Amino acid sequence: MYFQREEVYQAVGQLADEEVKLLILSGDILHQREWRAERIEQLGFVSEPFAEVEGVARAHTSRKLHDRFRGLMKQYRLNGWEVSNHQAVPPEAPIQDRVPISETMWPPELRTVIGLNPEFGVIPFGLSALTHEDRTLMMVHGGSELYFIAPPDAQKFKCAFIINPTSFDQIGWDGIEIMIEGYDADNRSHFLRSHLIEADDARTSRTMAVDFEAGEFNYIRLRILPGLSGSEAYDHAWFSKIEFN
């Protein structure tokens, strides 16, 4: 198998239209470092395993699932498996970096167009309202976190956004990820959605709408994360709607 690299590459390539979520490598494959790296890269998975049985097996997945699978492995503690310390998603900002979102940052007129303003957030580059194709949008930069308090009777959370179209034209732009989490009454975080938009995605992938049940959460956090290389350059998400109902 290791000497038929082209055949293996073609075989794995047939999975291109499938949503492969997990790769487990075991046995002699663990000693074939170059072959192993090629398979992981071909599937677009994180090079570090999210869990392993030392010397026996390693488990890999995509960046958007890596930390979620790590959490599940910690929760269920499967016999023999050690959970990796590697975090694919940057850690949340320190609590002291979170600031209240004032009306200056999110003026009342924006609430009528875009929707509910966040209570507080981490906004290293501020927030900026803009007009694009006759629509009012709120630009949120990479590295930002926005916390939205859920109204008592809220059942659903909705948001819609596009990625700055000029970002796709920037040399070296590595994409952007929008991650959404919910916090319950015990302040426990629950992964809800993750959208990773890459530089070579089709134009139709640039507009996203998210709609999901949110009745069990006290607040929702939006995180603007860097692309696969970890760069926040040109990471601009433009939100057109953020609301509970």
CATH of the domain at 170: 2.60.120
Domain boundary among 35, 57, 83: 83
What pLDDT, on a 0 to 100 scale, did the predictor assign at position 9? 65
Asked if residue 70 belongs to a domain, the reply is yes
| 109 and 172 inside one domain | yes
| 136 and 226 inside one domain | yes
19 Cβ contact list (under 8 Å, min separation 6): none
What pLDDT, on a 0 to 100 scale, did the predictor assign at position 12? 66
Q: How far is Cα 107 from Cα 18, in angstroms, rounded to an integer?
A: 44
Asked if residue 156 belongs to a domain, the reply is yes
Asked if residue 205 belongs to a domain, the reply is yes
What pLDDT, on a 0 to 100 scale, did the predictor assign at position 140? 95
- Residue with the two structure tokens 């291109």: 16
What pLDDT, on a 0 to 100 scale, did the predictor assign at position 3? 52
| 158 and 215 inside one domain | yes
What pLDDT, on a 0 to 100 scale, did the predictor assign at position 78? 82
| 66 and 110 inside one domain | no
Asked if residue 88 belongs to a domain, the reply is no
What pLDDT, on a 0 to 100 scale, did the predictor assign at position 71? 76
| 40 and 73 inside one domain | yes
| 56 and 116 inside one domain | no
Asked if residue 202 belongs to a domain, the reply is yes
The residues with which 52 forms a beta bridge, in sequence order, are: 58, 82
Asked if residue 90 belongs to a domain, the reply is no
| 100 and 214 inside one domain | yes
Sign of the CA dihedral running 240, 91, 19, 42: positive
Q: What phi, psi does 64 have (nearest 5°)? A: -70, -20
What pLDDT, on a 0 to 100 scale, did the predictor assign at position 148? 95
| 146 and 232 inside one domain | yes
Locate all alpha helices (DSSP H) within 164-234, ordered by sequence: none
Residue 97 three-state SS: helix
Q: Report the predicted TM-score, pTM, of the whole model to 2 decimal places.
A: 0.66
| 77 and 101 inside one domain | no
Range of the domain at 107: 95-244
Residue 105 three-state SS: coil
| 104 and 73 inside one domain | no
| 148 and 58 inside one domain | no
Residues of the chain with pLDDT under 70: 1-9, 12, 15-17, 85-91, 95-96, 201-207, 228
Counted domains in the chain:
2
| 139 and 232 inside one domain | yes
